[in-house]
Structure 1
Amino acid sequence: MTEQKIDGKTRKKRDGESQAYRILNMTSFLLACPKGATRQELADHFNVHRTTISRDLGKISEKPWLIEDEFGRLSVDRTQYLADTRFTLHEVMALYLAMRLLSRRTDKRNQHAASAVRKLGSAVQRLAPNLSRQIILSAEILDSPERKENQTYISVLETLTRAWAENRYVHISYLKNRSLLETHYTLAPYFLEPYAVGQTTYVIGVVENELVLKTFKLERIVRAELLTETYNVPADFNIGEHLGAAWGIWTSHEEPVQIVLHFGKDISSRVMETHWHQNQEIVPQTDGSLIWKARVSNLTEMMPWILGWGANVEVLEPLELRMQIAKEVLLMTRLYGKVA
């Protein structure tokens, strides 16, 4: 029997209970130590003898996620560790909607995503049979042989995931737009951002010896190598603030530009149904039309959205954007004028 203080009172616990408690917390302790810990360090932390720790480890030695290096340091292989969590029905629905969006807005085969979706579908089979069936169908879409098979993309994503999870630098070989020449970077990943418009993913981070955030498209990373050196994401880093003025993924070091659009009355109600930008402002007009305003960091990225509304929208500000749209309309008129 052992003694433990609970709520200020000393209570006796069976040794088996103490061991179970230690093993549970040992896993949490190792997860919090990216560089791992020795048996002696574990013994010191849990205030027990080193042999006690060895006996505890014997209970979990068969776990595929527990690894020991040549120096006797124990750590958790995060690619093998299975997180244990539970969801309510409404939380499952929230995940299903996200997964459904993922299955419709990605074009690559992703076995990891499919496996995660299948697990969720199987787990809620009794709770919600209809929902379970649709979740599993989404997994089949993600794992369909008809999808693009891009193992380089999956390999790069796996490496970046580990780098981000373990706060480790990664060396990437990158192809800049319209270039066949590789550029090499040592990158500290701060964030992985999906982008539905291009059916892709971007990694946002800081290049070694530089002080600014950079964005890299995963499809243009041809190789990624996980390094042993570690980094820390600044406590004040906020992806919402970083992308706050972006229309999608493109940011700028310059001040955001004020965009002012006039939407006609026939389409105004549809525009108001959706919150299109983080800092948007809508001003209804007496004739049923509306003025839409937002401060955006890159004009080019939002042009397809504006053009998608056709003649139902007019760019009022800035002049630069108005001229770009007018030029595009002129080119389209020349292209389709023959048909008219």
Structure 2
Amino acid sequence: MGHRRYLVARDPAKDDLIRNYRMDLIQSAEVLDQSFAQAEGFSMAEYAAQSFGIWQDPDQFGEVVWKFSPEAATRAAEFRFHPTQRLEPQPDGSLTVRFEAAGWLEMTWHLYQWGDKVEVLAPEGLRAMVHDHRRSDFSSMP
């Protein structure tokens, strides 16, 4: 998941929450004479799709709507921003992209590359995070 490698696991001694552990920060490991069974109904693909990148925050999870300008629409249509994305070409040549996920900080890192060629329509919290950082001086798009 993402550009770093993560171990996705849960510690049943603590609770049933699934957690992401950065592999590069694990200092040691120990082989135990124990085994485990994956939780019934767990899907790594569904788990991963709850976030834009890695970050899983239930308070941020919800519909995300981005509108790419007409000059960015063709390029944006080539991207797979999220596995559940829906692309909606608009009559003015712009492109609306919709999906459900969390991870606003990771989204802002990605959206910054698009400069002022993308507008966040929803959620409002993400819109507020990127609004003052939309730039018109980028000579190319991702």
Normalised to the residue count of structure 1, the TM-score between the two structures is 0.37
Quick check: 1:207 aligned with 2:14?
no
Percentage of pairs with the same residue = 25
Aligned to 1:270: 75
What is the distance in 1 between the residues matched to 2:86 and 2:2? 24
What is the distance in 1 between the residues matched to 2:53 and 2:105? 11
Aligned to 1:218: 23
What is the distance in 2 between the residues matched to 1:218 and 1:239? 17
Alpha-carbon offset, residue 243 of structure 1: 1.1
Aligned to 1:291: 96
What is the distance in 2 between the residues matched to 1:267 and 1:255? 26
Alignment partner for residue 256 of structure 1, among 49, 54, 61? 61
Aligned to 1:111: none
Q: Provide structure 1 residue ranges, at least 5 long, that are not aligned to the other structure.
A: 1-193, 333-340
Number of equivalenced pairs = 135
Deviations 1:65-89 (A, max 9, x none): xxxxxxxxxxxxxxxxxxxxxxxxx
Contact 1:258 1:294 in 2 (8 A): yes
- Superposed, 1:58-69 pairs within 5 Å as none
Deviations 1:107-128 (A, max 9, x none): xxxxxxxxxxxxxxxxxxxxxx
C-alpha RMSD of the superposition: 2.0
Partner SS state of residue 277, structure 1: coil
Alpha-carbon offset, residue 292 of structure 1: 1.4
Alpha-carbon offset, residue 308 of structure 1: 0.7
Residue 314 to residue 249, structure 1, CA distance change in 2 (3 Å)? same
Alpha-carbon offset, residue 274 of structure 1: 2.4
Contact 2:85 2:97 in 1 (8 A): yes
What is the distance in 1 between the residues matched to 2:28 and 2:123? 41
Residue 254 to residue 323, structure 1, CA distance change in 2 (3 Å)? closer
Alpha-carbon offset, residue 253 of structure 1: 3.4
Alignment partner for residue 107 of structure 2, among 302, 305, 308? 302
Residue 255 to residue 315, structure 1, CA distance change in 2 (3 Å)? closer
What is the distance in 2 between the residues matched to 1:236 and 1:281? 25
Partner SS state of residue 230, structure 1: coil
Alpha-carbon offset, residue 207 of structure 1: 0.9
Alpha-carbon offset, residue 255 of structure 1: 6.6
Structure 1 outlier segments of 4+, above 6 Å: none
The structure with the largest helix share of the pair is: 1
Aligned to 1:91: none
Alpha-carbon offset, residue 267 of structure 1: 1.2
> Counterpart amino acid of 1:206?
R
Residue 311 to residue 327, structure 1, CA distance change in 2 (3 Å)? closer
Deviations 1:186-212 (A, max 9, x none): xxxxxxxx532xxx2100011131211
Contact 2:53 2:103 in 1 (8 A): no
Alpha-carbon offset, residue 213 of structure 1: 0.8
Greater relative CO (CA pairs within 8 A, separation 6+): 2
What is the distance in 2 between the residues matched to 1:320 and 1:253? 14
What is the distance in 2 between the residues matched to 1:300 and 1:286? 31
Contact 1:258 1:293 in 2 (8 A): yes
Aligned to 2:38: 233
Aligned to 1:148: none
Partner SS state of residue 262, structure 1: strand
- Superposed, 1:1-340 pairs within 5 Å as 194-196=1-3, 200-209=4-13, 210-254=15-59, 256-329=61-134
What is the distance in 2 between the residues matched to 1:247 and 1:268? 20
What is the distance in 1 between the residues matched to 2:117 and 2:132? 17
Contact 2:52 2:106 in 1 (8 A): yes
